[in-house]
A and B are shown apart, each in its own frame.
Chain A
Amino acid sequence: MTRMKEGVSWVLPILFLILVWELIAQSRLVPIYLFPPFSTVMLSLWLLTVQGVLPHNLASSLLRVIAGFVLGGLAGVLVGIAMGVNSKLNRTFSPIFSLLMPIPALGWAPLFMLWIGINELLPIALVFMCSFFPVLYNTVTGIRNVESGYLQASKTLGASKMKVLTTVLLPLALPNILTGLRLEAGMAWRVIIAAEMVAIPTGIGALMIRSESLLRVDVIMVCLIILSLMCLLFEKIFLKFEERTIHWR
Chain B
Amino acid sequence: MNLPTVELVAVFNYALKGVNLKILDKELFVLLGRTGAGKTTLLNVITGLADYEGTVKFDGESIDEIPTEKRGIGYLFQNLLLFPHMNVYSNISYSMKIKGSSESEVEAKVKRLTEIIGIEHLVNRYPKHLSGGEKQRVALARSLASDPKILLLDEPFNNLDPRTGKHLRLELKRIQRQLGVTSIFVTHNLSEAAELADKIGIMNDGRILQVGTPQEIFFSPENSYVHEFLGAPNILECESCSPIGNDLAEVRANGLSVIAPYDGEPIKKLSILPSEIFLSRYPIPGPHINVFEAEIIKIQPSDTVVQISVAVKNHLYEVETLAETCKSEGWKEGTKVFVKLRLRSIRTWPRPDFE
Contacts and interface: CB of A to CB of B under 8 A. Distances in A.
Contacts of A152: 49, 68, 77, 81
A107 to B, nearest CB: 38
Interface in B207-258: none
Given A149-B77, A248-B126, A158 B84 contact: no
Contacts of A168: 83
Contact of A248 (B68, B71, B75, B84): B84
A246 B84 CA distance: 10
A157 B98 contact: yes
B167 interface: no
Nearest to A150: B81
Interface in A137-169: 147, 149-150, 152-160, 163, 167-168
Interface residues of A, number: 21
Interface in B46-89: 47, 49, 67-75, 77, 79, 81, 83-87
A120 B249 CA distance: 91
Interface residues of A, dominant DSSP? helix
B183 interface: no
A144 B143 CA distance: 25
B84 A153 contact: no
Contacts of A154: 83, 94
A195 B69 CA distance: 51
**Contact-size category for B:** 20 to 34
B143 to A, nearest CB: 8
B69 A159 contact: yes
Contacts of B143: 157
A125 interface: no
B348 interface: no
A157 B92 CA distance: 10
B79 A149 contact: yes
Contact of B68 (A156, A167, A174, A246): A156
Interface in B141-179: 142-143, 146
Contact of B84 (A156, A167, A172): A172
A168 B74 CA distance: 18
B34 interface: no
Interface of A: 147, 149-150, 152-160, 163, 167-168, 171-172, 174, 246, 248-249
15 contacts: A149-B77, A149-B79, A152-B68, A153-B77, A155-B67, A157-B69, A157-B142, A158-B95, A158-B99, A159-B69, A160-B69, A172-B84, A246-B85, A248-B86, A248-B87
Given A153-B83, A157-B95, 7 more contacts: A152-B77, A153-B75, A158-B95, A159-B98, A172-B84, A248-B85, A248-B87
